[in-house]
Amino acid sequence: MKALKVSAHRVDARGRPCPWPIIELAKALKLHPEVELWADDPAARADLESFCAATGARAGPVQTEGPLLQVVVCR
């Protein structure tokens, strides 16, 4: 799968069980205004929605390819 945005910092959390993808995303958003998240845990999408609702972060369109979720998140 190709990067969604060239300028976005990427968190590649493939193979990491939840909640690690969201923990890594939160850390990256402290340093970068937008982060591209790659995750393949089945709970990642629901965790991402909860994270955005709790923090006010904005997720762009979610792309999926098989189990891989790919999304750009802005703080």
Question: The domain that contains 33 carries what CATH number?
Answer: 3.30.110.40
CA distance 57 to 3: 20
Structure tokens at 71: 């999304």
What pLDDT does residue 2 have? 66
pTM over 0.85? The answer is yes
CA distance 73 to 25: 9
Residue 40's pLDDT band, with cuts at 50, 70 and 90, is very high
**Within a domain: residue 2?**
no
Question: What value does the mean pLDDT take over residues 57-64?
Answer: 96
Over 80: is that where the pLDDT of 44 sits? yes
**Within a domain: residue 54?**
yes
| Coil vs helix vs strand at 43 | coil
**Within a domain: residue 44?**
yes
Domain, as residue range, for 61:
9-74
**Within a domain: residue 25?**
yes
**Within a domain: residue 4?**
no
Per the structure, how many domains does the chain have?
Answer: 1
- What percentage of the chain reaches a pLDDT higher than 90? 89
**Within a domain: residue 1?**
no
Contacts of 15 (CB under 8 A, 6+ apart): 40
